Amino acid sequence: MPHGSTASAQIPAHLGPEAGSPSEHKYERPGVVRTYYIAADEIDWDYTPLGRNLAGLPHAETAEDESGAGIHHRVYHKAIYREYTDATFKTLKIRPQQWQHLGILGPLLRAEVGDSIRVVFKNNTHLSVTMHPHGLEYKKDAEGAFYNDSTPNAVKLDDKVVPGATFTYLWTAPERSGPASMDESSVLWMYHSHFVESTDINTGLVGPIIVTARGQARADGTPKDVDREFITDFAIFDETDSWFFDTNIGSQSRAIRLKSGNPVLRERNMLYTINGYIEANLPMLTMRRGERVRWYLLSNSNEEDIHMAHWHGNTLVWNKMRMDSIFLGPMAMAVGTMIPDSEGTWLFHCHVNDHYVGGMVGRYQVLP
């Protein structure tokens, strides 16, 4: 079932392959423009919607509540990207069952090589934010990043979308945005707000992009050669670097705002999550034995975002190598393919001790 709003409009001529380019001869279909209506919204995010330590791990530290937000919940005010049905931004698009696990991540944007992605972006927050994509092709008027790049004001509207404003980003997926020779049929990119980048991401503004090789995508953009896809962000959210830190913690925090000035306060407000869930609140990632399952992994941008994603029970292939763990540095993106042969419910967690103890744990399930 298509996740994005796929417009069947022909790609504008200037966005297609250049005449005589090396890729022209394998241009099997005209690219489409995939349009998404995305808003940055303020919400109260519950890192533990179903309770604490759902994996039943035998260590006591994580069972105590440190947020002051309740015994069983850790809730913070945040800003996230959400998808709407159209440009009125009145109706949220229902996230399909298979993508419920995206959690705090923004809507999945997809393209097949040759396609364009058009995002009508509305800023419903009280912050100035943007959307900045990795991997896709963009011009200076759609980079979504605020810095001195010697461009005139006319092409800086994308750099700072103020509260209440709307901006339309147009990005393209040429060959260099899609799989290279060592990749499989699809690659992962991300997008995030890039006004005050670190604070924007810690506030929650990050999401995934998948680009499938030309000719290897179904109509909805999914790669034809896989049965199931999962996206997991090994994401530390440093709530002391959130735009809403003062709101979340209380007015007394202003004096101790500097994160380096109070390591205890900072550690208490570091959330070691997978897709914004801690302690196995990540929805059960469910697949069937023998399916071809593609795992897309990413990570956030804090200096502590150094992770080792580890699967119990099954192995996968990454970069033509057999693995049961994949290393992720800050803002990493990695893709692996698993053909599970061991049935059961299995731990899926970060193997860095502090992260594991801090709750960076999920589970996946292999059915017969």
The amino acid sitting at 259 is K
Least separation, in Å, of the C-beta of 242 and Cu ion? 19
DSSP string, 311-355: ESS--EEETTEEESEEEE-TT-EEEEEE---S-EEEEEEE-SHHH
Residues 193, 205 contacting (CB under 8 angstroms): yes
Structure-block tokens of residue 311: 């699967």
Least separation, in Å, of the C-beta of 272 and Cu ion? 7
Segment 224 to 253, residues that bind Cu ion, using CB under 5 A: none
Point out the catalytic residue in the list 271, 278, 316, 350.
350
Segment 299 to 358, residues that bind Cu ion, using CB under 5 A: 307, 350, 352, 355
Please say which residue, 79 or 236, places its beta carbon nearer to Cu ion.
236
Structure-block tokens of residue 282: 């990540």
Return the SS3 of 365: strand
Q: What angle do CA 207, 177, 296 make, to 5 degrees?
A: 45
Phi, psi of 140 (to 5 degrees): -65, -20
Least separation, in Å, of the C-beta of 236 and Cu ion? 7
Least separation, in Å, of the C-beta of 353 and Cu ion? 9
Structure-block tokens of residue 3: 């996740």
Please say which residue, 167 or 272, places its beta carbon nearer to Cu ion.
272
Taking the C-alpha atoms of residue 20 and residue 258, their distance in angstroms, rounded to an integer, is 55
Cα-only R_g, the chain: 20
Torsion of CA 229, 234, 237, 243, to 10 degrees: -50
Q: Write out the H or E segment, with its range, that includes residue 267.
A: helix 263-268
Taking the C-alpha atoms of residue 110 and residue 207, their distance in angstroms, rounded to an integer, is 11
Please say which residue, 98 or 325, places its beta carbon nearer to Cu ion.
325
Burial of 277 (0-12, 13-18, 19+ CB in 10 A): buried
Segment 115 to 154, residues that bind Cu ion, using CB under 5 A: none
Q: Measuring CA to CA, which residue among 175, 173, 163 is closest to residue 122?
A: 163
Least separation, in Å, of the C-beta of 235 and Cu ion? 9
Please say which residue, 316 or 352, places its beta carbon nearer to Cu ion.
352
Q: Are strands 325-328 and 285-288 parallel, antiparallel or unpaired?
A: unpaired
Taking the C-alpha atoms of residue 112 and residue 219, their distance in angstroms, rounded to an integer, is 9
Verify whether residue 50 is a known catalytic residue: no
Q: Is 270 in the site for Cu ion (CB under 5 A)?
A: no
The amino acid sitting at 225 is D
Please say which residue, 188 or 332, places its beta carbon nearer to Cu ion.
332
Least separation, in Å, of the C-beta of 326 and Cu ion? 11
Please say which residue, 3 or 74, places its beta carbon nearer to Cu ion.
74
Taking the C-alpha atoms of residue 290 and residue 283, their distance in angstroms, rounded to an integer, is 21
Residues constituting the chain: 368
Please say which residue, 173 or 350, places its beta carbon nearer to Cu ion.
350
Least separation, in Å, of the C-beta of 361 and Cu ion? 10
Enzyme catalytic residues: 350
Judged by the rule CB under 5 A, the positions of this chain that interact with Cu ion are 307, 350, 352, 355
